[in-house]
């Protein structure tokens, strides 16, 4: 029962001890998380705004080209009307129209009746298909642009002018018309943006497709979209509310943009009213294509911000670790050990127990400056350790004696650490000068050399961890076996050594975070 109660007390003290550091870490994590979230949200909105603005500019160019095409052909039709008024014969009409067809590159020139029937200048009769409101539009005297299909031919865009009616080769016509195959029109308004990955449409306000860049110019595509809104309704991730808003934009002739997923691919959708018979011109472009360059910047920004946030977290952890070791040492430095052994005496007993006779113990000024010098074979103990008979002094002295035992027993990790110390010193001294020189002279080889040399510091910190943890284990084992401290006092020494060990973990984390930051900040310059 007593052991259970004592265990509960120890657990409570442990929780109380780490409550404030944990709260500080949590508060910092929340703060950094909030800052990062706001920043990333701002960046996302900026990317969307810039991308859709760029796409709208491109779409506007295509819209201008379409309007130019319509205006040009309406002008030609009006000139044709003037020609018909003054033509002396049908043969002259046929010859002149054949010449006009060659010059314009159109599919055909037609004499058009209000029911959709038509005749070419060569007398070939056909039908442009049923246009329910064609007669109304022609009767109103309006210039008409319709999408039509003749039997055995691809879709065409037909420009009609009802300014003059008459008879040609016995065919009574209500208007004259000029027709282009859809692919010819699309090629005329295409600005070749995004390497052919964009899907461009011209639609009616109800979604019916007038022009489709994906449709095959000869026979039409099996996946041709006949109603764009219906396609979005069935195959996109738009909510009912978003879909209704888009439909309303189309109906009201409003310009706009959206981001949506269609058939599993994320797209930017931009649209605007053409001013031609309420047509809507729109463009679907994959987000990955539009944001190719901005995504690189975005990813680098995320990497750098994440690295900086991690570095700040690690620095706080290091600070807390330092405060904890000072707190633990100060607490147990004021508690005299029952044995009355000073730090120097405790270290000497551990050396003797391991048969080590060639290691001296010296005093060194300062606080927590204790260390073992393997070259001089000297354990140097600080003011609060050397001649002080406290729990903390015995724990620290035993730890340094543990290093001496590691060398005496040829402990492999400490030999490895000792072997890389010269390289680490070189890396520590030269890394930053090489980095700065590489940046000044724009020489990536020097930058990477500086980063690699700094990496040696991280390697040293990594190699230090098993050495320090092992020294603490040897110290605690020696203290327990030689009865240098009681069981209760041993727990105090363990607390001091555990806190000290955490400083080495924090040092490794700081070094690694700094190395990562250097790689992200300077290593990316090579990709620019």
d(CA 376, CA 32): 47
d(CA 397, CA 385): 7
Q: Do 520 and 303 meet the contact criterion of CB atoms below 8 Å apart?
A: yes
Query: Per the structure block, which two tokens stand in for 454?
Result: 């700094």
- How many beta carbons lie within 10 A of that of residue 303, not counting itself? 17
Query: CA–CA distance from 125 to each of 163, 174, 353 (Å)?
Result: 21, 15, 116
Phi, psi of 312 (to 5 degrees): -65, -40
DSSP 126: E
Phi, psi of 335 (to 5 degrees): -110, 110
Q: Which of 384, 400, 468, 489 is catalytic?
A: 400
Residue 400 falls in the annotated catalytic set: yes
Q: Do 356 and 363 meet the contact criterion of CB atoms below 8 Å apart?
A: no
* Phi-psi region at 368: left, alpha or beta (left = phi > 0; alpha = psi -120 to 50): left
Query: CA–CA distance from 145 to each of 138, 157, 204 (Å)?
Result: 11, 7, 12
DSSP 372: E
d(CA 49, CA 55): 10
| Sign, Cα dihedral of 346, 508, 316, 21 | negative
d(CA 270, CA 283): 6
| Sign, Cα dihedral of 383, 386, 389, 394 | positive
Query: Per the structure block, which two tokens stand in for 247?
Result: 């439909």
Query: Per the structure block, which two tokens stand in for 134?
Result: 């064609």
Q: Do 232 and 260 meet the contact criterion of CB atoms below 8 Å apart?
A: yes
Segments in 285-411 forming alpha helices (H) = 287-290, 292-333, 343-353, 383-386, 391-408
Query: Per the structure block, which two tokens stand in for 73?
Result: 């052909």
Q: Do 28 and 316 meet the contact criterion of CB atoms below 8 Å apart?
A: yes
How do 175-181 and 108-112 pair as beta strands? antiparallel
Q: Which of helix, strand or coil describes residue 146?
A: strand
Q: Do 289 and 197 meet the contact criterion of CB atoms below 8 Å apart?
A: yes
**Catalytic site positions:** 400
């Amino acid at each position: 029962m007593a052991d259970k109660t004592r265990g509960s007390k120890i657990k409570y003290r442990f929780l109380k001890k780490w409550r404030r550091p944990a709260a500080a870490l949590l508060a910092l994590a929340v703060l950094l998380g909030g800052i990062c979230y706001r920043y990333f949200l701002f960046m996302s909105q900026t990317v969307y705004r810039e991308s859709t603005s760029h796409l709208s500019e491109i779409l506007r160019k295509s819209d201008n080209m379409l309007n130019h095409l319509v205006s040009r052909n309406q002008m030609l039709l009006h000139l044709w009307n003037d020609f018909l008024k003054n033509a002396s014969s049908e043969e002259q009409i046929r010859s002149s129209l054949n010449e006009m067809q060659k010059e314009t590159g159109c599919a055909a020139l037609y004499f058009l009746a209000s029911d959709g029937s038509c005749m070419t200048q060569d007398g070939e009769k056909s039908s442009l298909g049923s246009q329910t409101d064609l007669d109304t539009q022609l009767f109103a005297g309006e210039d008409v642009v319709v999408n039509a299909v003749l039997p055995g031919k691809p879709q065409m865009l037909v420009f009609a002018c009802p300014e003059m009616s008459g008879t040609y080769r016995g065919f009574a016509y209500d208007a004259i018309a000029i027709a282009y195959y859809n692919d010819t029109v699309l090629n005329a308004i295409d600005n070749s943006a995004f390497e052919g990955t964009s899907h461009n449409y011209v639609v009616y306000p109800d979604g019916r497709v007038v022009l489709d860049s994906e449709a095959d110019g000869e026979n039409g595509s099996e996946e041709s979209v006949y109603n764009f809104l219906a396609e979005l309704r069935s195959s996109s991730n738009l909510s009912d509310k978003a879909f209704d808003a888009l439909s309303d934009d189309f109906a009201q002739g409003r310009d706009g943009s959206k981001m949506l997923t269609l058939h599993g691919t994320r797209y930017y959708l931009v649209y605007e009213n053409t001013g031609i018979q309420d047509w809507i011109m729109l463009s679907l472009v994959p987000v990955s294509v539009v944001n190719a360059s901005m995504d690189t910047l975005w990813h680098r920004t995320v990497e750098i911000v994440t690295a900086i946030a991690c570095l700040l977290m690690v620095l706080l952890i290091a600070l807390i670790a330092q405060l904890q070791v000072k707190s633990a040492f100060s607490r147990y430095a004021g508690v005299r050990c029952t044995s009355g052994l000073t730090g120097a005496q405790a270290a000497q007993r551990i050396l003797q127990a391991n048969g080590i006779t060639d290691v001296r113990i010296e005093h060194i000024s300062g606080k927590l400056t204790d260390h073992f010098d393997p070259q001089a074979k000297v354990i140097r103990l600080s003011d609060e350790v050397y001649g002080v008979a406290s729990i903390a002094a015995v724990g620290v002295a035993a730890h340094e004696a543990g290093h001496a035992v590691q060398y005496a027993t040829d402990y492999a990790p400490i030999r490895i650490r000792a072997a890389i110390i010269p390289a680490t010193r070189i890396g520590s001294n030269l890394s930053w000068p090489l980095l700065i020189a590489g940046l000044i002279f724009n020489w990536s080889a020097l930058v990477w050399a500086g980063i690699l040399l700094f990496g040696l510091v991280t390697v040293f910190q990594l190699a230090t961890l098993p050495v320090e943890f092992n020294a603490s284990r040897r110290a605690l084992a020696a203290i327990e076996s030689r009865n240098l401290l009681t069981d209760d006092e041993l727990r105090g020494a363990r607390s001091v050594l555990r806190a000290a060990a955490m400083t080495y973990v924090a040092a490794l984390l700081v070094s690694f975070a700094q190395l990562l930051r250097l790689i992200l900040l300077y290593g990316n310059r090579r990709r620019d």
